[in-house]
Amino acid sequence: MPPQDLPSRPRRLRRTETIRALVRETTLAPRQLVLPLFLIEGEGNAESVDAMPGCARLSIDLAIHQAEHAIELGVHSFALFPAVAREKKSPDGREGLREDNLLCRAVIAMRRALPEACLITDIALDPYSSLGHDGIVSPDGRVLNDETVELLTHMAQLHAQVGADFVAPSDMMDGRVGAIRRGLDGAGFAETGIISYAAKYASAFYGPFREALDSAPIDAPNVPRHKKTYQMDPANAREALREAALDEAEGADILLVKPGLPCLDIISRLRERTTLPIAAYQVSGEYAMIRSAAELGRLDETAALVESLTALARAGADVIFSYYAMEYAGWYRLEVTK
């Protein structure tokens, strides 16, 4: 058959791997990844997370060891999440404001052992709350906004004091970014950055994370069974733009979208509207789906994780939080040394 008279043949740019690499539009390097770490008390202590095969809660010394390995692979940034013992939890989450709590000790130890690492701390009450909510719950079952913001501001100051590079308010209370920025500046921590969970949806993909930290809302009278009064409705897009604009105006340094793949459209729309860096969180449910499907032989795990992370970067994410950060970095090292 004679060739068709086509003025343009896009397949010419796909003919070989060298050509495909030459014109590749999106490149994601390990330095753009953030590895979340789950922390527990003890020494030499590791507890597997059943809902997240391959992930574990680690004592501070083991977390440092894993971070050292990640740095060798090119991942230099870490988001720290404490798994707090139930006996230390309370309705107002006051453990989160104690100067020698698990998270503060972890930041101090990691800053000493890994001075080049970027340490990001979670600002919310749910790891410390016996009720499992990101804020203070009133006797009549309302999550209180302004009272919660006051506690979160003190928490952010504490994390800055022990050496956090960024505080990351994940609570979705109104006005918390501005309050935290004023609190940090007023306490002499003007250089501590804020990664705002600007668009955090009330997603079904958070389940494994809540199991890892035992942070799901409890079943009790006058305790909301969900977080929909402060986390966003997954059906809304314009609201995400509004939330992000408010956080940017209040002083956020980086805007984060969560979850990741279900929100590619939100990432893309934000990229068109802001000059701030945009972060995306490939959440626990996304990780668990890929891992579980791979274990069943339904897909190639490495190919799936690379494709999913690349999609987040293609949509406009400059920074990606992922439990697959080290696996991706290992794949990337092999690719660049071919």
* Structure tokens, 233: 């409705």
Beta bridge partners of 167: 121, 194
Cβ atoms of 49 and 63 closer than 8 Å: no
Give the separation between CA 146 and CA 173, rounded to whole angstroms.
Answer: 8
Tell how strand 46-48 and strand 193-200 pair up: unpaired
Give the separation between CA 311 and CA 79, rounded to whole angstroms.
Answer: 21
Catalytic residues: 200, 258
Q: Residue 50's CB: how many other CB atoms inside 10 A?
A: 10
Amino acid at 212: A
Name the CA radius of gyration of the chain, rounded. Answer: 21
Q: Is the peptide bond before 277 cis (omega within 30 degrees of 0)?
A: no
Give backbone dihedrals phi and psi of 170, rounded to 5 degrees, phi first.
-110, 10
Give the separation between CA 292 and CA 221, rounded to whole angstroms.
Answer: 35
Contacts with 132 (C-beta within 8 Å, 6 or more apart), sequence order: 126, 210, 215, 216, 217, 218, 223
* Number of residues in the chain: 338
Cβ atoms of 259 and 232 closer than 8 Å: no
The terminus-to-terminus CA distance of the chain in angstroms comes to 38
Q: Residue 171's CB: how many other CB atoms inside 10 A?
A: 25
